[in-house]
Amino acid sequence: MRTNTAHRLPGSLLDFPHGVARVSDLETHGVHNAWRHCGPEGPWQRLLPGIVAFTTERPTRDQRRQAALLYAGEGSMLTGRSALDLYGLLRVERSVHVLMPMGRRRHLSDPICEATRRLPTPVIRHGFPLTGPSRAVADAIRLDNACAPHLVPLAIRVLDVSPESIMAELDHGPQRLTADPRRYLRSLS
């Protein structure tokens, strides 16, 4: 955990992955009014509504991922470019894409929190729950059609996915914005 305040944290707070916690979880550990620790003087910062990091430094990628998962709630997992980053396919510096169970509403542009009826069994990679590689590619190209010609061949080569498995994920997901990726995937068959 990278933090500039580790010496000030009670031992029980050091157990929070990546130094990121829900305010409600902090309260169960006896830390009330966690927001008063956030601000220009620190020692913590607010990352998302209801989520704090035990540092005033720029959040790491892992801290942003953990914050997004906590914000999205139980059963959520990383997908799209965020998952592909953890699979080692590409490096993502900014945006986090999270799938969460249907019925939850989270409205932010970053992280992208997407509710789904078809939540897969997560794959754990580097301590984070992820969608499988084919689903991650499908979600990435659905959000950014222009990346398909670069991303799909790379995923086929590195992650051993097939155009058919990516197409199957697109077939079972939202159809909106998938015409171009579908056309591209059909051209590979």
What tens digit of pLDDT does each residue of 161-177 get?
999 999 999 999 888 88
Task: Identify whether residues 110 and 127 lie together within a single domain.
Answer: yes
With b for 16 or more beta-carbon neighbours within 10 A and e for fewer, the 23-62 pattern comes to bebbeeeebeebeebbeeeebbbbbbebbbbbbbeebbbb
Q: Are 105 and 66 part of one and the same domain?
A: yes
In a domain, 49, yes or no: yes
State whether 103 and 158 are in the same domain.
Answer: yes
Q: Residues 98-122: what's their mean pLDDT?
A: 85
Residue 77 lies in a domain: yes
pLDDT, average across residues 97-112: 82
Specify whether the CB–CB gap between 79 and 55 falls below 8 A. Answer: no
**131 shares its domain with 39:** no
Q: What is the mean pLDDT of residues 112-116?
A: 89
> What is the CB-side half-sphere exposure of residue 43 using CA atoms within 13 A?
10
**Does residue 1 fall inside a structural domain?**
no
Residue 16 forms part of a structural domain: yes
Helix (H) or strand (E) holding 20: strand 20-22
Q: What is the mean pLDDT of residues 24-33?
A: 84
Upper half-sphere CA count for residue 186 (Cβ side, 13 Å): 7
102 with 30, same domain?
Answer: no
Same domain, 116 and 181: yes
Residue 24 lies in a domain: yes
- Residue 102 Cα to chain centre, angstroms: 16
Q: Indicate whether 84 belongs to any domain.
A: yes
Whether residue 155 sits in one domain with residue 103: yes
- Residue 42 sits in the same domain as residue 69: no
Residue 104 — very low, low, confident or very high, per pLDDT cuts 50/70/90? confident
Q: What is the pLDDT of residue 60?
A: 92
Q: Is residue 142 part of a domain?
A: yes
Least confident of 10-19, 112-121, 145-154: 10-19
Structural domain range at position 33: 6-53
Q: Judge whether 14 lies within some domain.
A: yes
| Residue 1: predicted pLDDT | 42
Domain count, the chain: 2
| 49 in the same domain as 65 | no
Query: Looking at residues 122-134, what average pLDDT do you find?
Result: 96
Please indicate, yes or no, whether residues 74 and 136 belong to a single structural domain of this protein.
yes
Instruction: Please tell me whether residues 42 and 70 are part of one structural domain.
Output: no
User: Residues 100, 140: one domain?
Assistant: yes
Strands (E), 123-171: 123-125, 128-130
- Using left for φ > 0, alpha for ψ between -120 and 50, and beta otherwise, residue 115 falls in beta
Query: Would you state the pLDDT for residue 95?
Result: 83
